[in-house]
Amino acid sequence: MASWAFSEFGLWLIAAVAAAAAVVASRLDVPRATRALGWSAALAFAAGTLVWMFADTYSYYFGQKENALRLSYWGSYREHEMWKDIIGAFRHKHPDIPVRQEYITDEYDSKIHRLLIANDAPDVILFQDEPFPQFASTGGFERLDAYCERPGLEVNLERDYWKTAVDSFRHEGKTYAIPVWGGNCLVIYSRDAFRTAGVPEPTDDWTTDEFLATCQALTADSDGDGRLDRFGFRIPGWVYWLPFHYAFGATYLDPTRTRWTLSGKEAEASFGFWQGLRHTHHVAPHRDELIEGGNVPFMTGRLGMFVSGPWAMPTLNEAAVDYDVAHIPRGPGGQGTRVTWDGLVMASGSRKKDWAWTFIHFTTSLEAQEIVARYQRSVPALKAAQKAFVEANPKVHAERFIEAFAYSRIQPITRYWHQMGREVGTQVDLMLDNKQTADETLRNLAANEQLRKCFTMPETTGTQHR
């Protein structure tokens, strides 16, 4: 009865009764009662109108926070559709657990950070490996080791998931996220460009020398106007260069991720090769030669190869581009590539932890992971879903993303990842614009005051530290 009285109809009825009483009081010449009843009628009518206009909005943005499991994630609209499919399958299996989707399209990390500080974080949060160390130490994430052993809801991370995926979400030996999907960086190449140039497609064991020769063969001025119409390769940022960096035997940090190791002949060779693709060999475009963003140059035939992960495939598939995937070439330092993962964390302040674990368990089950596989955006973290991932894209050697886990490495992520990326990116841009040499770039990074606050750095006096 009380809840009905506070509905829009209840409040309007109260307003009508108060208005009628005010008329009676007026006729009986009771001015104070007339005014009080008149104000009561007006306030009740206004309150009823506000409830009528905004009750649904309030329920959606505030009421469901208590009544539903809150899930936050980012991504493209296609990834949003993938989440809808996963949640639909979850609801079919668990109709008693309502899920509220909180799709955050920009500034995801900073918004999640603010919600954690305000103790208003979603119950389940999709999280990247890159910001994970910085957040894991704050106490905002629930430790999940005990949840993995819950009867009927067990998760065997060591047996069923890719090792790099599991290791990416451990902090001080404890598990704070269950990996759901990820991928490694390989070479994406245009079959059409290779056919036009008469170049054989890459073999599984090609080398950096063969990669360079392929870039040179693909680069062409087809109309003879003195300007290059197709480039062999597009220069990536420093994170996407990691596969080639490893091929030269170079690293950024030692295994403890506290000591800076970006120095010596291996690092200089890697940076020199990188810079040379644009300025020595001119098989990669300068900034003003290929201004189209995203995969447009590749899809329009102006680019033969680029480095990316499985997240590049959905757009290429939808555009019906004739492409394939090649392994990272082997260099003097061997073979390696960057791998990155996303995982689901549980907010430590959640009041629906049983629901949260039930959802996390389902999302990492084979049923949900096969949904991930069909969308092709990432490699499912669950090994058992690899067959579905490969079969979903039969025109492409998608299995090479699986094979590459044998030589994939976790990125050199620390709690200082963002500072590191900013300083490295600034210096690398100067090098790639030919404003400083590879050696000068390495020296500047070793002397960088911001990096010296975060890591143990090599000496910068005398010759380049070896």
Q: What is the pLDDT of residue 60?
A: 43
CATH classification code of 186-336+414-454? 3.40.190.10
Mean pLDDT along residues 178-196: 97
Range picked from 13-27, 106-120, 133-147, 325-339 for highest mean pLDDT: 325-339
Mean pLDDT along residues 126-149: 94
pTM for the whole structure:
0.83
- Give the residue, 50 or 337, on which the prediction is more confident: 337
What tens digit of pLDDT does each residue of 58-81 get? 444 444 456 899 999 999 999 999
The CATH number of 71-182+340-410 is which of 3.50.50.60, 3.90.25.10, 3.30.365.10, 3.40.190.10?
Answer: 3.40.190.10
User: Hey, where are the domains in the chain?
Assistant: 2-66, 71-182+340-410, 186-336+414-454
Q: CB within 8 A of 342, min separation 6: which ones?
A: 126, 127, 128, 129, 179, 180, 181, 182, 378
Instruction: List the single range of 26-30, 164-168, 221-225 with lowest mean pLDDT.
Output: 26-30
Mean pLDDT along residues 350-368: 97
Q: What is the pLDDT of residue 57?
A: 47
Q: What is the pLDDT of residue 65?
A: 52
DSSP state of 423: H
What tens digit of pLDDT does each residue of 53-62 get? 765 444 444 4
Instruction: Quote the CA–CA distance of 193 and 191 in Å, as a whole number.
Output: 5
Q: What is the pLDDT of residue 464?
A: 44
Mean pLDDT along residues 334-340: 97
What Å distances lie between residue 287 and 170, 336, 429, 432, 434, CA to CA?
A: 39, 28, 11, 9, 11
Element spanning 294, H or E? none
Instruction: Quote the CA–CA distance of 100 and 61 in Å, as a whole number.
Output: 10
pLDDT mean across residues, the chain = 91
- Confidence check: pLDDT of 438 > 90: yes
Instruction: List the single range of 90-94, 298-302, 432-436 with lowest mean pLDDT.
Output: 298-302
Mean pLDDT along residues 41-56: 73
Mean pLDDT along residues 94-110: 94
Count other Cβ atoms within 10 Å, centred on residue 13.
Answer: 15
What tens digit of pLDDT does each residue of 13-43 get? 887 887 888 788 788 777 887 888 778 878 8
Asked whether this chain's domains 71-182+340-410 and 186-336+414-454 adopt the same fold, the reply is: yes
Question: What percent of the chain shows pLDDT beyond 70?
Answer: 93
Tokens of 205: 């064991």
What amino acid is encoded at 251 in this protein? T
- Confidence check: pLDDT of 108 > 60: yes
Instruction: Quote the CA–CA distance of 379 and 368 in Å, as a whole number.
Output: 13
